[in-house]
Amino acid sequence: MRILGIDPGLATMGYGVLDADGRKPLFVAAGAVITTPDMRMYERLLKIHDDVRDLIRLYQPDDIVFEELFFARNVTTALNVGAARGTALCACAEFTHNIYEYTPMQIKQAVVGYGKADKHQIQHMVKLLLNLPDIIRPDDAADAVAAAITHFNSGAMKEQFRMK
């Protein structure tokens, strides 16, 4: 099974791809879809859509996993990231309905063992769990890989995390 993890964002949308051989996740790729503030909003969303669609065509995932959005402060940021997330979801839905989501706390708990872990702890554990030579950069890509690891570890329970 191949898993594509996505950490939604407007400026930086992280992605990570893992293969599951049954016992442990195997790292395939990670990176980010980047848009810049000088682009118009519709151009940024179109780039996200097209790039996510290209990633799906390239890696052909069986399951796609999103980190659920959580914002407590900035409404404008929440709206922009929500638009980016929706655009990515539409691109994913063109290929599969095997789309899942996990909260940031669930991901931190699954990867680090502590639901309030910081970015550095997540990056370090992703590196250790996948036996990588270096920490995955940018942070958003490491977060996307962590979401994919969480999905891998959910096993038979994954259906409860299917996006509704």
CATH code (residue 27): 3.30.420.10
Query: Which residue in 7, 51, 63, 143 is the catalytic one?
Result: 7
Query: Which residue in 51, 63, 101, 140 is the catalytic one?
Result: 140
Q: What is the pLDDT of residue 22?
A: 76
pLDDT bin (cut points 50, 70, 90) of residue 161 is: very high
Query: Which residue in 63, 67, 101, 143 is the catalytic one?
Result: 67
User: Is 7 tagged catalytic?
Assistant: yes
Show the CA angle centred on residue 33, arms to residues 82 and 30, nearest 5°: 115
At residue 86, what is the residue type? G
pLDDT bin (cut points 50, 70, 90) of residue 71 is: low
Highest-confidence segment of 48-57, 73-82, 107-116: 48-57
* pTM (predicted TM-score): 0.95
User: Is 67 tagged catalytic?
Assistant: yes
Extract the tokens encoding 46: 């179109």
Domain extent, residue 25, equals 2-161
pLDDT bin (cut points 50, 70, 90) of residue 45 is: very high
What total number of domains does the chain contain? 1
Q: What is the pLDDT of residue 72?
A: 60
